[in-house]
Structure 1
Amino acid sequence: MANQKTILITGATSGIGESLLQRYLANGYQVIACGRNEEKLKQLSDQNSDVIPLAFDITNIEQICNAANKLTEIKHIDILMLNAGDCRYIDNAKSFDGALFASVIATNLQFLGYMLENFLPKVAVGGQVVFVSSSATILPFPRAEAYGASKAGIDYLAKSLRLDLKAENIAVTLVHPGFIKTPLTDKNDFPMPFLLTSEQAANRIYQGVNARKAYLQFPKRLTFIMKLFALLPDFIWQSIALKNENNKRNDK
């Protein structure tokens, strides 16, 4: 198809990434599907000829470079969707797990630099870069030191990059999802209000990216409540967050 658009999606083998892949395929895109699961990527490409499988680990610089070099026939990418990430918690702040902290920061933030180095040059003038961050950056949560810090870093990266890419007419969309049912969130041991499916999240992201919005935050009910608490004195949110954490511990 001569005018077919191309999107690259990281983390395309599960969760929001896989739902995004299906959403964009349904709308006629060619999808460069990135992930570590080679078997799943092959399955996806066997099911649809518009899927280009690209297996690599986003925390391995050499693999990132090799993956980018394999895209010799792809002259340009219309949308670079940086979705892959990790979510793990610091269970004991006093016995802070530095290795876990470093690993989450590296996966969610540090290696985005290498992704941008290798794939941003392929983004066409008039194209888009999409960062999937989190609504967790609105308020501090217990045990979320690593996850929250990494996502807050993504927010700043996206906002700064938006300024520098304006001259290239490349839009930057920053996505703040709330709680989405995925293999990552299935491990959470706390209430997740206004939980959405990955398909619902993908639909919202697709619509927002298609409209070239700078910010996407959903579900609105959750983000409105969080923003309201963020405006109030710190002690109000702290008392709520710590009460929920203490109740969870007492239930164990």
Structure 2
Amino acid sequence: MGEIRDKTVWVTGASSGIGRALALRLARHNNFVIASARRRETLVELQKCAPSRIQILDCDVADDNAMAAVPARLNEFSDHLDMVIACAGTCEYDNDLQLESAMYRRVFDANFFGVINTLRIALPLLSVSPAPIFAALGSLSSVVPFPRAEAYGSSKAALDYFLASVRADSCHTNLKVVCIRPGFVDTPLTARNDFDMPFLISPERAAIYIESGLSKGKSVIDFPRRLSWPLRFFGFFRFIWFRFCTPRISRIRTLRKN
């Protein structure tokens, strides 16, 4: 497995789950990590694990107004960024096709617009690095459509396309754009799931996959393979997915009448 060393890295969503595991792993490998999340108290606890290698910057990436103060705060820590890993996000499910627009907006604000805010703020500092990397946490749920995942899966599919478009737009620059698409990872978000999660892995294992993929220069990092490969197959042959798979996992039997 490859390692990343001696870089300045901004990690959002670092208070728990994959973001926290990545911040700790990168700090152990002699990187200077700027860790961000909404909850300052959890970031303070994280910093205690590597006080000389982790600095904290509490912010809500989905709040446009609050993010206006972030560039100045980033500049207090460093005059450049070698890498940004946008891990902040949320998950809510649409049960029985309620189609509540407020819920969809919450999910998109965190999973999609939060990444846009992060990239916009990071670009000036990334431009100083000789080999800048911007990576964001998507999901394997964007490969095929899952029941109840209309909001979450759509936000990750939109993110997937956004990152690919940024990659196309920046092809004449030295910016590397990476989409990270994990399967099920044991985090506080997935702990709320009320269904079986095949091939569930730990955040620490996810961090290993991500660091290895980034060190190898991958543009898309899918893991674990035993889940990503079957889903990619169904992504190519969606008629099989809809014919045999979705009838087994969909919970809706009749449409709402009110």
- The answer to whether TM tops 0.5 is yes
Q: State the TM-score, normalized to the length of structure 1.
A: 0.92
Superposed CA RMSD: 1.8
Task: Find the aligned partners of 1:236 and 1:150 in 2 and give their Cα distance.
Answer: 21
Residues 138-178 of structure 1 deviation map (CA, whole Å, 9 limit, x = unaligned): 11000101001100111111111112223221111111101
1:21 equivalent in alignment to 2:28:
no
Give structure 1 regions of 4+ aligned residues with deviation exceeding 4 angstroms. none
1:85 equivalent in alignment to 2:89:
yes
Higher strand share: 1
Change (3 A) 1:236 1:214: closer
1:227 equivalent in alignment to 2:229:
no
1:33 equivalent in alignment to 2:35:
yes
Aligned equivalent of 1:250: none
Partner SS, residue 112 of structure 2: helix
- The residue type equivalent to 2:159 in the other structure is I
1:142–1:242 CA contact under 8 A, matched in 2: no
2:147–2:249 CA contact under 8 A, matched in 1: no
Q: CA deviation at 1:239?
A: 3.8
Range with greater deviation from structure 2 (195-204 or 104-113): 104-113
Task: Find the aligned partners of 1:233 and 1:38 in 2 and give their Cα distance.
Answer: 43
Match of 2:124 among 102, 113, 121: 121
Task: Find the aligned partners of 2:114 and 2:30 in 1 and give their Cα distance.
Answer: 30
- The residue type equivalent to 2:163 in the other structure is A
Aligned equivalent of 1:174: 179
May I ask how many residue pairs the two structures share in their alignment?
A: 245
Aligned equivalent of 1:107: 110
Q: For structure 2, which runs of at least 5 residues remain unmatched after alignment?
A: 253-258
Task: Find the aligned partners of 2:18 and 2:234 in 1 and give their Cα distance.
Answer: 27
Range with greater deviation from structure 2 (118-127 or 181-190): 118-127
Aligned equivalent of 1:208: 213
Task: Find the aligned partners of 2:130 and 2:169 in 1 and give their Cα distance.
Answer: 13
2:88–2:111 CA contact under 8 A, matched in 1: yes
- The residue type equivalent to 1:16 in the other structure is I
Match of 1:50 among 47, 50, 53: 53
Residues 183-239 of structure 1 deviation map (CA, whole Å, 9 limit, x = unaligned): 000111111111111100000000111111111111111111112222335254354
Q: CA deviation at 1:43?
A: 2.2
2:85–2:136 CA contact under 8 A, matched in 1: yes
Q: How many percent of aligned residue pairs carry the same amino acid?
A: 33
Q: CA deviation at 1:130?
A: 0.4
Q: State the TM-score, normalized to the length of structure 2.
A: 0.90
- The residue type equivalent to 1:42 in the other structure is V
2:62–2:114 CA contact under 8 A, matched in 1: yes
Q: CA deviation at 1:39?
A: 1.1
Task: Find the aligned partners of 2:238 and 2:169 in 1 and give their Cα distance.
Answer: 35
Aligned equivalent of 1:63: 66
Task: Find the aligned partners of 2:226 and 2:144 in 1 and give their Cα distance.
Answer: 15
Aligned equivalent of 1:161: 166
Partner SS, residue 30 of structure 2: coil
Range with greater deviation from structure 2 (183-192 or 63-72): 63-72
